[in-house]
């Protein structure tokens, strides 16, 4: 299977998000492969991260368009985890499922069309370079480009039973800075305004916003503050995350967060809020369920689906109103660890699924 050799080639190039040289080397390999299929490469150049890449096929005007979405960055810095290996069942390495493996799936499916002499039309591919750090740069570009497409397939890893993904929680990261007043804890205790104590009250109120039945969680993952045991703390800092499954929950929690920040539980302290929503919620929609039903009719296969708590760039495209399915890559696990692996047989089934869908779309321009 040549595509596993191609996978090994890009796996063994370190593409840690903060290693733009390595990310661009991976991108250049994909440039060559896609250009061999007739795609034109458009670079969105960056300096501190790798370039984002849009591969464009021949467009037939006034017909619907399909975007295939992936990322070429990974999470491990150089020399930490860079090797590719395999056994009879699995392949191992950084990105085999998240998500260089998914990128190889869509590439190989397009190659199959070329082998069958089927022209690729109205299918474009966007690879971004900073997904693993939150797509802080690329999300503006992705949202802008998404408006030009009718459908989007995202090649993050499939579920264990090869489920696709129709919904992902929205996520936001926030910071609260608390300013108090320092004082000697022995001689002038009452003169101080304890920022640490204020932060502790705020932490408890924030956690109370969690509603597991509605899929809403607030996690204060880090708290810092103070100078030493003999000083009333003059400052504190909280880092917390919000995840939610519904837009009304987002609005409820954001409103209450602002109330908590504005209230001083310890007299004399003042607090400010920063941060915000990183990726908005991707909700299972009527259009995505209709798309799954159409795929069933096209492929004669029942495609199962699921919702996930984690986020991806599918959230961004979906938020622009594009009918979006995620999880079209191979099945794997251990992502973001040195045990990351992907199931070989899932590559075969996902390549065939994509081949059939791409062939149908490039001939009919709809699903």
Boundary residue ending a domain (227, 261, 279): 279
Q: What is the pLDDT of residue 1?
A: 77
Residues 312, 268 share a domain: no
Residues 359, 248 share a domain: no
Boundary residue ending a domain (226, 258, 279): 279
Q: What angle do CA 36, 103, 91 make, to 5 degrees?
A: 115
pTM listed for this prediction:
0.91
Residues 256, 188 share a domain: yes
Q: Helices 100-115 & 2-11, crossing angle to 10 degrees?
A: 140
Q: How many CB atoms lie within 10 A of CB 254?
A: 17
User: Which contiguous run of DSSP H or E holds residue 54?
Assistant: strand 52-56
Residues 240, 204 share a domain: yes
Residue 177, beta-bridge partner list:
237, 272
The string of DSSP codes covering 82-132 is ---EE-SSEEESTTTTTTHHHHHHHHHHHHHHHHTTPPPBSEEEEEES-GG
Residues 12, 125 share a domain: yes
First to last CA, the chain: 29
Residues 95, 49 share a domain: yes
Going residue by residue through the chain, which has 367 residues, state the pLDDT in tens, using 9 for 90 and above: 799 999 999 999 999 999 999 999 999 999 999 999 999 999 999 999 999 999 999 999 999 999 999 999 999 999 888 899 999 999 999 999 999 999 999 999 999 999 999 999 999 999 999 999 999 999 999 999 999 999 999 999 999 999 999 999 999 999 999 999 999 999 999 999 999 999 999 999 999 999 999 999 999 999 999 999 999 999 999 999 999 999 999 999 999 999 999 999 999 999 999 999 999 999 999 999 999 999 999 999 889 999 999 999 999 999 999 999 999 999 999 999 999 999 999 999 999 999 999 999 999 999 9
Q: Residue 206 belongs to a domain with what CATH number? A: 3.30.70.360
| Range list of H helices, the chain | 2-11, 20-36, 100-115, 138-146, 195-207, 247-262, 286-299, 314-319, 344-364
Contact 127, 71 (CB under 8 A): yes
Residues 211, 108 share a domain: no
Residues 155, 79 share a domain: yes
Boundary residue ending a domain (246, 279, 312): 279
Instruction: Using DSSP, state whether 220 is helix, strand or coil.
Output: strand
Residues 134, 29 share a domain: yes
Q: Residue 22 belongs to a domain with what CATH number? A: 3.40.630.10
Residues 123, 41 share a domain: yes
DSSP 8-state code for residue 46: -
Q: What is the pLDDT of residue 273?
A: 98
Residues 318, 274 share a domain: no
Contact 136, 307 (CB under 8 A): no
Residues 159, 19 share a domain: yes
| Helices and strands counted in the chain (H then E) | 9, 18
Provide the domain limits for residue 309: 2-168+282-364
Tally the domains of the chain.
2
């Amino acid at each position: 299977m040549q595509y596993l050799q191609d996978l090994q080639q890009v796996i063994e190039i370190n593409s840690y998000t903060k290693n733009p040289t390595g990310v661009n080397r991976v991108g250049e390999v994909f440039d060559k492969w896609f250009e061999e299929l007739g795609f034109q490469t458009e670079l969105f150049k960056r300096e501190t991260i790798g370039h984002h890449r849009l591969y464009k096929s021949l467009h037939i005007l006034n017909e619907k368009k399909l975007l295939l979405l992936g990322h070429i960055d990974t999470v491990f810095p150089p020399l930490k985890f860079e090797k590719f290996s395999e056994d009879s069942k699995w392949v191992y390495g950084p990105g085999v499922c998240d998500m260089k493996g998914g990128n190889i799936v869509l590439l190989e499916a397009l190659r199959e069309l070329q082998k069958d002499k089927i022209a690729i039309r109205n299918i474009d591919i966007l690879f971004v370079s900073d997904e693993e750090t939150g797509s802080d740069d690329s999300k503006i570009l992705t949202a802008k480009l998404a408006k030009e497409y009718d459908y989007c397939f995202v090649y993050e890893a499939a579920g264990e039973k090869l489920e696709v993904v129709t919904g992902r929680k929205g996520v936001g990261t926030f910071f609260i800075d608390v300013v108090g007043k320092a004082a000697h804890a022995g001689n002038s205790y009452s003169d101080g305004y304890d920022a640490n104590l204020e932060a502790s009250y705020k932490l408890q109120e924030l956690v109370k916003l969690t509603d597991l039945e509605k899929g809403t969680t607030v996690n204060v993952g880090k708290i810092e503050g103070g100078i030493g045991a003999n000083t009333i703390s003059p400052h504190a800092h909280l880092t917390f995350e919000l995840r939610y499954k519904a837009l009304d929950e987002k609005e409820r929690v954001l409103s209450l967060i602002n109330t908590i920040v504005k209230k001083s539980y310890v007299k004399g302290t003042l607090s400010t809020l920063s941060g915000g929503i990183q990726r908005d919620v991707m909700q299972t929609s009527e259009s995505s369920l209709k798309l799954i039903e159409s795929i069933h009719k096209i492929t004669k296969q029942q495609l199962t689906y699921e919702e996930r708590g984690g986020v991806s760039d599918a959230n961004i495209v979906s938020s622009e109103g594009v009918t979006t399915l995620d999880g079209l890559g191979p099945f794997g696990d251990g992502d973001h660890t040195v045990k990351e692996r992907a199931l070989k047989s899932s590559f075969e089934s996902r390549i065939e699924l994509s081949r059939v869908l791409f062939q149908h779309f490039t001939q009919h321009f709809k699903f």
